[in-house]
């Protein structure tokens, strides 16, 4: 279309409508012409709008208005279908339930382009009123944030509305860490062969699903180790074998006594096939978590006189023991954590009395350093110097000054000679 100088317009077109207003049309990136979403009072205003629209396209800021007409529910379905293959079965079931129960009923009818941070904040407040736990609210938000981020990544919106949202804090209960004596009592109170399963939890740091999924082929008696490459999960009553959490396959070296007991268990109680499970129920099939706790673990905890002990507490106990004696990195490797911060945040804790032991060792080291100035004899260090009192410090300075003078023939008597 020609402009007011008679030259053909380089980008888009403007025409006058019967109403007297002006309509602007522009080519989308795919070449198809599209009308502006509004009309203009005069030709100049319409042309200025076209200039801005061309700049959006050239700079990659243009968004197809039709894409913004998708609802959260519609886009959520596409996101979930694309993300599902990479999700573990348990995670997939969790996300599906959160979308169905808490995202679609409250946000599903919104157009993707109409969701604002205040919309998200109001949704979070509604979940609070519905008495959802802090953990469930945070997980639901994480799913919704992924849906909206994918909308931004696919140019449906310019920016995700999931920003600056205040989420409820998660309670951080201290994990139950058992002492050596408590572990012995629990093992003794557990019926065989489930006592061996308990030992694997506490001396190998396995997750309960990993222990349930162990097979004959996972045990290397000669090498003294096991391979953790599967985990058993239950979803709506159905058991599913999958890779461990975060797909972290690992080999764990076991203490010699546990290797011997595993070897005996393999000879007496486990099928000869490499796929035979180490621990099964009365029907010969994989153990069910709730049934196993009710029949074996919880009664053993009660017989041992313990409280608040779960299978997961045994994993936390293992993490604490290893971190305390061999460092957090060693504990993270045995637990299958790619980041040691997960180990310290959720599992490893300081062993009772260890802080006092550290202070005692620091005091001994301090005394040793002072003794170096007293011919290496700790007994020669005066009490006031050892305790750090000011008069002791002054006496120590005089003593050091004399030592330095004695060692330097060129200094004046009683003077400090720089070295």
Any idea where the domains of the chain sit in the sequence? 13-62, 68-153, 180-346, 368-407
pLDDT of residue 30: 76
Q: 400 CB contacts (<8 Å, ≥6 apart)?
A: 373
Higher-confidence position of 287 and 418 = 287
> Can you give the three-state secondary structure of 272-341, one letter per residue?
CCCCCECCECCCCCECCHHHHHHHHHHHHHHHCCCCCCCHHHHHHHHHHHHHHHHCHHHHHHHHCCCCHH
Average pLDDT taken over every residue of the chain: 82
82 pLDDT above the threshold of 90: yes
Angle between helical axes of 72-83 and 134-153 (0-180°, round to 10): 90
Angle between helical axes of 180-189 and 194-204 (0-180°, round to 10): 160
Low-confidence winner among 98-102, 145-149, 165-169, 328-332 (lowest mean pLDDT) = 328-332
Q: What are phi and psi of 33, to 5 degrees?
A: -75, 140
The CA distance from 114 to 95, in Å, is: 23
Cα separations (Å) of 104 from 101, 123, 136, 319? 7, 11, 15, 40
pLDDT, mean of residues 256-280: 94
6 pLDDT above the threshold of 70: no
Ramachandran sector of residue 141 (left: φ over 0; alpha: ψ -120 to 50; beta: rest): alpha
Q: 26 CB contacts (<8 Å, ≥6 apart)?
A: 11, 12, 13, 33, 34, 36, 50, 53, 54
14-66 confidence digits (pLDDT tens): 999 999 999 999 988 878 888 888 999 999 999 999 999 888 888 877 777 76
Fold match between domain 68-153 and domain 180-346: no
Structure tokens at 266: 């393999």
Q: Do 228 and 206 contact (CB within 8 A), yes or no?
A: yes
169 pLDDT above the threshold of 50: yes
pLDDT of residue 392: 43
- Of 135, 142, 159, the closest CA to residue 103 belongs to 142
Q: Which CATH superfamily is 180-346 part of?
A: Intergrase catalytic core (1.10.443.10)
The CA distance from 394 to 253, in Å, is: 55
The CA distance from 316 to 328, in Å, is: 12
Q: What are phi and psi of 69, to 5 degrees?
A: -85, -5
Q: What pTM was computed for the model?
A: 0.62
pLDDT of residue 398: 45
pLDDT, mean of residues 168-186: 87
Task: Look at the domain 68-153 and name its fold.
Answer: DNA polymerase; domain 1 (1.10.150)
pLDDT band at 404 (very low <50, low <70, confident <90, very high): very low
4 pLDDT above the threshold of 80: no
């Amino acid at each position: 279309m020609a402009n007011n100088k008679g030259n053909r317009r380089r980008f888009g077109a403007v025409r006058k409508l019967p109403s007297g207003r002006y309509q602007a049309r522009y080519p989308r990136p795919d070449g198809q012409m599209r009308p502006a979403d509004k009309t203009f009072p005069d030709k100049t205003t319409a042309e200025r709008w076209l200039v801005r629209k061309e700049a959006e396209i050239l700079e990659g800021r243009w968004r197809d208005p039709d894409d913004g007409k998708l609802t959260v529910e519609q886009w959520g379905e596409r996101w979930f279908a694309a993300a599902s293959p990479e999700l573990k079965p348990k995670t997939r079931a969790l996300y599906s339930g959160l979308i169905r129960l808490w995202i679609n009923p409250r946000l599903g009818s919104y157009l993707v382009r109409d969701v604002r941070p205040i919309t998200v904040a109001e949704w979070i407040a509604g979940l609070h009123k519905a008495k959802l736990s802090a953990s469930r609210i945070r997980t639901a938000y994480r799913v919704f944030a992924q849906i909206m981020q994918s909308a931004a990544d696919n140019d449906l919106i310019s920016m995700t509305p999931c920003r600056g949202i205040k989420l409820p804090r998660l309670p951080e209960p201290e994990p139950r860490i058992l002492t050596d004596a408590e572990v012995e009592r629990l093992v003794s109170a557990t019926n065989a062969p489930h006592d061996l399963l308990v030992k694997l939890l506490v001396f190998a740091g396995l997750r309960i699903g990993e222990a349930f999924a162990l097979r004959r082929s996972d045990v290397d008696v000669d090498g003294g180790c096991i391979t953790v490459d599967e985990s058993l999960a239950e979803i709506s009553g159905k058991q599913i074998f999958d890779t461990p959490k975060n797909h972290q396959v690992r080999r764990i070296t076991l203490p010699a006594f546990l290797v011997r007991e595993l070897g005996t268990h393999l000879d007496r109680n486990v099928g000869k096939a490499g796929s035979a499970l180490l621990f099964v129920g009365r029907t010969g099939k994989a153990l069910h978590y709730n049934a196993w706790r009710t029949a074996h673990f919880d009664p053993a905890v009660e017989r041992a006189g313990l409280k608040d002990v779960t299978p997961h507490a045994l994993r936390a106990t293992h993490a604490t023991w290893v971190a305390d004696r061999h460092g957090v990195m060693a504990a993270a490797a045995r637990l299958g954590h790619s980041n040691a911060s997960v180990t310290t945040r959720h599992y490893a804790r300081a062993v009772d009395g260890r802080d006092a032991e550290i202070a005692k060792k620091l005091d001994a080291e301090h005394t040793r350093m002072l003794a170096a100035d007293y011919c290496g004899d700790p007994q020669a260090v005066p009490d006031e110097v050892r305790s750090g009192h000011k008069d002791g410090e002054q006496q120590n300075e005089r003593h050091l000054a004399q030592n330095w003078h004695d060692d330097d023939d060129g200094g004046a008597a009683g003077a400090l000679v720089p070295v």
